[in-house]
């Protein structure tokens, strides 16, 4: 038996998936509750990692080391960059994940880890610095084979330690990385998946526009609900 693992940072992002699990069992690993069950006939693990890169990487490593995992789907909410064409409630599916603030700050500005020259991961002849791959076929299948009552696009995701609080910064990051969506966990999970050679998919419901810190303009509930709809479809195409 191999499991498809769902990772989200907060219960708000995954409770609707958990409520659909059948034959649920739970275990505690390193203080975190792992749920096991069946979802649409598929053996599933679900875990809330907590926010941030370290929590995400720790959680991904825990489940991969403890259980036979065939793939990881990272679900949650995220902030859309101004030029992405996304609105609140829309869905972004990652085409790749990028660490947005790991690197070197020089007199000419920020540069990636390639400036240091030491990769984060080596697998065979391949070196990974700031960018990590996402399962290539799944994003296009999700977008092409289902009709949604919201927009769904695929693009680069940016993982940051400090969320973007100004429009100016949002425009800067969007331009630098050609990114559509910002989050705090995805690249760390993709990093772990690259180490273990496990396929990953990341789906984010847009809860806010990056750079807008007025929570009255956010909609976490709608973003989570629409993300759940796409995630349930995604398991049809899971590894």
Q: 97's torsion region: left (phi>0), alpha (psi -120 to 50) or beta?
A: beta
Quote the pTM value: 0.94
Q: 201: domain CATH number?
A: 3.40.50.1580
DSSP 3-state percent helix, strand, coil across the chain (nearest 5): 30, 35, 30
Number of domains in the chain: 1
- pLDDT value at residue 235: 83
- pLDDT value at residue 146: 63
- pLDDT value at residue 168: 96
Give average pLDDT by consecutive 10-residue segment, the chain, 239 residues: 94 95 96 96 96 98 96 96 97 96 91 94 92 76 71 95 95 97 98 95 96 92 95 77
Do 188 and 216 contact (CB within 8 A), yes or no?
no
The domain in which residue 57 lies consists of 3-237
Q: How far apart are CA 79 and CA 86, in angstroms?
A: 9
- pLDDT value at residue 48: 97
């Amino acid at each position: 038996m191999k499991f498809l693992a769902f990772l989200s940072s907060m219960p708000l992002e995954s409770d609707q998936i958990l409520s659909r699990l059948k034959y649920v069992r739970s275990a505690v690993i390193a203080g975190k509750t792992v749920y096991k069950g069946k979802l649409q006939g598929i053996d599933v693990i679900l875990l809330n990692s907590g926010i941030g890169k370290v929590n995400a990487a720790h959680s991904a490593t825990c489940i991969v080391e403890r259980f036979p995992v065939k793939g990881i789907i990272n679900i949650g909410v995220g902030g859309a960059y101004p030029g992405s064409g996304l609105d609140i409630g829309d869905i972004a599916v990652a085409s790749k994940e990028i660490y947005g603030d790991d690197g070197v700050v020089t007199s000419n500005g920020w540069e990636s880890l390639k400036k240091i020259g030491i990769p984060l991961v080596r697998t065979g002849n391949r070196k990974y610095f700031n960018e990590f791959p996402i399962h290539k076929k799944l994003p296009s299948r999700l977008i092409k084979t289902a009709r949604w009552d919201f927009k769904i696009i695929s693009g680069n995701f940016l993982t940051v330690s400090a969320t973007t609080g100004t429009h100016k910064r949002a425009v800067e990051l969007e331009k630098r990385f050609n990114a559509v969506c910002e989050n705090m966990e995805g690249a760390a999970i993709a990093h772990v998946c690259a180490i273990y050679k496990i396929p990953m998919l990341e789906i984010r419901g847009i809860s806010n526009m990056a750079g807008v810190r007025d929570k009255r303009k956010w909609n976490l509930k709608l973003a989570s609900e629409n993300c759940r709809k796409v995630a349930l479809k995604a398991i049809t195409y899971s590894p």
